[in-house]
Amino acid sequence: MLLSRDEAYAVRNAVTVAEVTTTIRGIPVEVVLGPEDGLPKRCAVNVDTLVTIRKELLTERITLLGSDKIEKINQAIQFALSLS
């Protein structure tokens, strides 16, 4: 899942991403996604695993998430990084 701000994609050669996995543990650093979100099966974004990768490794967009899921991801990031 791409996490960099939109403005960064045009000027940076690296982007920050979070792991998407089919392992769902039900913890505050996860946001569950599924077919209703445009993913092929039930999975979770795990924001405990944030990494920066070369932009050229990205080949295609799978889906765009709705504002409700984006808000949940923001909350999970705040929890993971102890941001208030």
According to the model, what pLDDT value does residue 63 have? 94
pLDDT digits (tens, 9 = 90+) for 21-61: 999 999 999 999 999 999 999 999 999 989 999 999 988 88
CATH of the domain at 60: 2.30.30.110
According to the model, what pLDDT value does residue 84 have? 76
Domain-located, residue 61: yes
Domain-located, residue 1: no
Token digits of residue 81: 């990084």
Indicate whether 6 pLDDT > 90.
no
Which of 14, 16, 8 lies closest to 81, judged by CA? 16
Question: Domain tally for the chain?
Answer: 1
pLDDT grade for 80, boundaries at 50, 70 and 90: very high
pTM, full prediction: 0.87
CA distance 58 to 38: 18
Indicate whether 4 pLDDT > 90.
no
State the residue range of the domain holding 28. 6-80
Domain-located, residue 74: yes
Domain-located, residue 39: yes
